[in-house]
Each structure stands twice: as structure tokens, then as C-alpha cells.
């Protein structure tokens, strides 16, 4: 399977529900790879995961969605979305339930822990993150902190429902 197949599936099935940028999509696909290694003991895809400037990046996905920049990725009619298989679609759904609501900044924080695969590969001078980097890292047991930007915004929205609306139009 290609990482771009996973990315297209995420855009097609979750793009309307979550604000997906190129960076966020790359990070979500990275966490799908982590989930596959954790749950099945085998990688989901063989594409390179590069040690990006700020976190893990899959060059094939980055190039495919580069035209969107930091704007929201919208599904295009000409994109072919392949069925991934029941196990893979279940894995992607699980990752999206757990992480899809997070911001790109939250996902970067999650991916940049000192005991994570990205940091280990970067400190060792590697240009890419290997399966062994991921398997030997704390990313395999990482949990989402309750203190995320997305959770804080959600809390403000619940406590002060009009505050964000006022800021939106200021």
C-alpha cells in the first residue's frame, strides 16, 4: 500500500469533518503508520517518512498536496480513492477518532517528544524515520494530552459560546 492511498482515504472520508492541511494530513498518516506497527506489528506502507524541519513528513504526500499550502484540502473529483481493506480502514478510523480533532500544532507536539521516533532520527543525523525508529520509540505508547490547543478552544467555546464568534468578525 502507498501512503498516498491512506492520505486520499483520509481526505475523502474525513475532509468534510476535520480541517485538513498538508501538514496535518502528513502527521495523521504518520500516526496511522505508528498504529499499524503497534496493532499489527507490521508497517502500513513502505513510503519514506522524512525527518522534516518540524516533524515527520511523507515526501510523496507533501508533494501531492503542496498546492494547497496551509489551506484546507478539498477532495477533487479526479482523485481516485481506493478501498483500503477492512483492517486498514478500521485502523484509519481509529486514528481519526483519537487524533483527527487535534490541530496541526497539537499533532506536532505529539510527534516531537524527546523520546519519539522523529527526535531520535533527527538527533542521530538520519534524513528519514525508519520502522525501527518508530518501533523503538515512545510513539508506540503515546497518548493524547488533555492540554491541547484544540481542547482549550473547545473549552472556551463551551464556556463562552459567543466569544469566538465575536473574534471571528473582528
- The string of pLDDT tens digits covering residues 154-163 is 555 565 567 6
pLDDT for 159 equals: 58
pTM assigned to the model:
0.82
Indicate whether 50 belongs to any domain. Answer: yes
Contact 107, 25 (CB under 8 A): no
Indicate whether 148 belongs to any domain. Answer: no
**Total domains in the fold of the chain:** 1
Indicate whether 165 belongs to any domain. Answer: no
Indicate whether 151 belongs to any domain. Answer: no
Most distant pair of Cα atoms in the chain: their distance: 50
Indicate whether 87 belongs to any domain. Answer: yes
Indicate whether 81 belongs to any domain. Answer: yes
Residue 77 confidence (pLDDT) above 60: no
- Of 24-28, 56-60, 136-140, minimum mean pLDDT range: 136-140
Q: What percent of the chain has pLDDT over 90?
A: 59
Indicate whether 53 belongs to any domain. Answer: yes
pLDDT for 93 equals: 94
Indicate whether 121 belongs to any domain. Answer: yes
pLDDT for 61 equals: 96
Rounded to whole angstroms, what are the CA distances from 100 to 95, 133, 135, 151, 163? 7, 24, 22, 12, 24
Structural domain span for residue 30: 3-143
Amino acid at each position: 500500500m502507498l501512503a498516498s492511498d491512506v492520505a486520499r482515504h483520509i481526505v475523502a472520508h474525513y475532509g468534510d469533518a476535520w480541517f485538513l492541511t498538508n501538514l496535518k494530513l502528513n502527521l495523521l498518516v504518520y500516526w496511522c503508520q505508528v498504529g499499524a506497527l503497534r496493532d499489527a506489528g507490521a508497517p502500513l506502507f513502505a513510503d519514506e517518512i522524512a525527518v522534516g524541519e518540524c516533524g515527520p513528513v511523507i515526501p510523496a504526500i507533501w508533494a501531492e498536496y503542496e498546492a494547497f499550502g496551509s489551506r484546507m484540502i478539498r477532495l477533487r473529483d479526479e482523485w481516485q480513492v481506493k478501498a483500503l481493506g477492512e483492517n486498514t480502514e478500521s485502523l484509519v478510523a481509529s486514528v481519526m477518532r483519537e487524533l483527527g480533532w487535534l490541530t496541526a500544532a497539537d499533532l506536532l507536539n505529539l510527534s516531537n517528544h524527546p523520546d519519539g521516533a522523529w527526535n531520535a532520527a533527527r538527533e542521530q543525523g538520519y534524513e528519514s524515520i525508519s520502522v525501527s525508529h518508530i518501533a523503538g520509540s515512545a510513539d508506540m505508547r503515546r497518548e493524547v494530552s488533555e492540554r491541547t490547543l484544540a481542547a482549550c478552544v473547545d473549552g472556551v467555546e463551551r464556556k463562552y459560546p459567543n466569544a469566538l464568534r465575536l473574534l471571528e468578525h473582528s
